[in-house]
Amino acid sequence: MDSEPPGFGDGEFFEFRLSRCLLTRTDSNGDGNPPPTVRAASA
């Protein structure tokens, strides 16, 4: 890109510096079935 996209300068920018993060995903409709899957990355 040769220039900023329209509205780019109007945004607010921030940075996250994380040493750990937990991500859970579930395909249920809120009843707990199937249970959430939690995976951990190897160190």
Q: What is the reported pLDDT for 19?
A: 84
Q: What is the reported pLDDT for 1?
A: 65
* pLDDT above 80 (res 42): no
End-to-end CA distance of the chain: 37
Q: What is the reported pLDDT for 5?
A: 86
3-state SS of 1-43? CCCCCCCHHHCCCCCCCCCCCCCEECCCCCCCCCCCEECCCCC
pLDDT in tens, 15-38: 988 887 777 666 666 676 777 677
* pLDDT above 70 (res 2): yes
More confident residue, 36 or 4: 4
